[in-house]
Amino acid sequence: MGTADIPQILQEAGLPENYVMGEQTHGAGVAVVGLGDRGRVVPGVDGLVTMEKNLSLVIRVADCGPIWIRCKKTGAIGLVHSGRKGTEAGVVQVAIRKMRDEYGAEVRDMVALLGPCVRPPHYEVNFAAEIIRQLEREGVGQVVDSGLCTAQDMKRFYSYRAEKGKTGRHFALLARGD
């Protein structure tokens, strides 16, 4: 599945047409996006932040961690793709700081959720625990870990590691609801 297939996949799933997606390079790039970016795949980023109400942020994952972030005070949102490399590079911190710097988001008023990702014993590096530590070190007011492991439940999740690279991808979306 290439990025050219994304519009059709989202449409077939009944998901919003106004979306923006990151290229996902396993780095620390985070883009500030708006309605002018809709329909785009933003090159070189693993995180997206916005204040727009009619724009869905989209990432794809198959073992890396999706992190949904929302500032309850300002309504700013961020969606991050973070695996071992992105976690080491600090992509979560970059997203939080962009939300603060661009939109005046208050870290203590943020809620962050780490979704399903590969975890020990199915992967020797516990990047999920490090993501939670990073969120807490940044001072995020409420941190929630789904605790779900993609490699542990192959009926529910795709797992790049468990399926030896021949797997699908989950889509994670985030949009403002207010």
pLDDT tens profile 38-73: 988 999 999 999 999 989 999 988 788 999 999 999
Structure tokens at 2: 């290439």
Q: How far apart are CA 53 and CA 74, in angstroms?
A: 12
Q: How far apart are CA 53 and CA 169, in angstroms?
A: 26
Q: pTM of the entire structure?
A: 0.88
Q: What is the pLDDT of residue 10?
A: 67
The full set of domain ranges for the chain reads: 3-174
pLDDT value of position 150: 82
Sign of the C-alpha dihedral, residues 117, 173, 47, 129?
A: negative
Note the pLDDT of residue 157: 61
The predicted pLDDT at position 149 comes to 80
Query: Cβ atoms within 10 A of the Cβ of 104, count?
Result: 12
Question: What is the CATH number that goes with domain 3-174?
Answer: 3.60.140.10
Residue with tokens 């991050």: 80
What is the spatial distance between Cα 120 and Cα 149, in angstroms, rounded to a whole number? 8
- Alpha-carbon distance 142 to 132, whole Å? 11
Quick one: tokens of 109?
């008023």
The low-confidence residues of the chain, meaning pLDDT below 70, are 1-7, 9-10, 14-16, 154-170, 178
What pLDDT is stored for residue 137 in this prediction? 97
Q: What is the pLDDT of residue 1?
A: 46
Reported for 80-86, long-range contacts at CB under 8 A and 24+ positions apart, including other chains, are 80/30, 80/46, 80/47, 80/48, 81/22, 81/24, 81/46, 81/47, 81/172, 82/46, 82/47, 82/127, 82/131, 83/26, 83/117, 83/127, 84/125, 84/127, 85/26, 85/27, 86/26, 86/27, 86/28, 86/46
Give the separation between CA 79 and CA 77, rounded to whole angstroms. 7
Instruction: Give the per-residue pLDDT at 163.
Output: 46
